[in-house]
Amino acid sequence: MFDGNWRETVEKGVDPVGAALQRLGMSADVLTTIGIAMAAASAVIIGSGRLFLGFIAMLAAGIPDLLDGAVAKASGATSKRGAFFDSTSDRLSDVLVFGGIAWYLDSNEPGRISILPFAVMGAALITSYVRAKGELLGYDAKGGIMERAERFILISVGLVFSSILIPVLWVMLVLSSVTIMQRFAKVWKQATVEKRAAAAAPS
C-alpha cells in the first residue's frame, strides 16, 4: 500500500540528496553494497538480543537503499543491471534481518517459535516472486496489503516493543499470505481475460 501511494513522493524528496552524492563521486552500486553490509550488521545486532539497537541499525541500513536509485537517476546511469542488483539486494537484506530475528528467538524463547520468522520470510519472498513473475509475463502484479514498506514498519514496531515481537510476526505472516493471494488473483484475472479474448478472436 505505502509503496504504491508514497514511493513517488519519497523519490522526489530524496532526488536532491542523490544528486549531491553523485557530485561527490558516490555510485548507486556502492550505496547498494553498503546497504547489504549494514543489513548484515543489523542482523547480527538483533540476533545478539539488542533489539532496539538492531532497529536503529536496520533504519540506518534503509538509507543507502533509499538513495541508490536517486544517485543512479542523477548520474543518468539507470539500467536494468542496476535495477536487478537493487531488487536482489532488497531480498537479501530481508533474509538477513529475518535470520537475525530467528537467531534471537532461538536463543531466548522456548519451543520452535524461531521457525516463525522463516515462515514470514518465505511469505515475503513468494510475494516478491508473484510480482516479478507476473510482470515478466506482462501483467500488473503490484499492490497488496503487506508490501515491503509495511513489513519494514511492522518489524520496526516489533523490535522497539520487544514484548509484542512474536504477535507482530504472526500478523505479518497472515497479512503477507493475504497479499500473495491478492497478487495471484490480480494476475490470474488479467491472464484469464487475455485467454478468453484470444479464444474469441477470429482465427
Read off the DSSP letter of residue 105.
H
Question: 86 vs 33, 127, 183, CA distance in Å?
Answer: 9, 17, 22
Phi-psi region at 78: left, alpha or beta (left = phi > 0; alpha = psi -120 to 50):
beta
Q: Which of 3, 29, 90, 106 is catalytic?
A: 90
The Cβ of residue 60 has, within 10 Å, a number of other Cβ atoms equal to 14
- Which residue's entry shows cell 520496526? 156
Does the annotation mark 65 as catalytic? no
Q: Could you list the active site residues?
A: 90
